[in-house]
Amino acid sequence: MYQPNCPVDELAKLRAKIAELRARETTLEARFIELSNHSTFTGFSGNVVVSHSIHDVFDISKLPETILNDPAFYARHQVTSVRIEPHDDIDSQSWIAGIGKPAASNMIEHR
């Protein structure tokens, strides 16, 4: 049943817009990194600062099998997912602009 301003469709539209904004953000960040011979870029409302840092990362693959296979080192957590599943009869040109096939950005996990 069609319901204008349905919360399901509102959530789908929001996630599509967020995905669009994240893609644009990634494009802009890549450009700043590419031009990072200068570390600060000045704009009207603020500055973009490109910085580099090094930090240690725990490498689980270096643990011995006795630890990796020991259930005493594991904890169980419940994860609740909210995802958008477009209807099969709705194509990418649907009235829900930008909603087509499910994308990774269409799922949000809550712990």
Gap between the Cα atoms of 18 and 99, Å rounded = 12
Query: pLDDT digit string (tens) for 26-48?
Result: 999 999 999 987 688 999 999 99
Kindly calculate the radius of gyration of the chain based on its CA atoms and give it in whole angstroms: 21
Residue 109 has pLDDT above 70, yes or no: no
pTM across the whole model: 0.64
pLDDT given for residue 98 in this prediction: 54
Q: Where are the domains of the chain?
A: 7-110
DSSP annotation string for 44-96:
SS-EEE----------GGGS-HHHHT-GGG------EEEE----TT--TTSSS
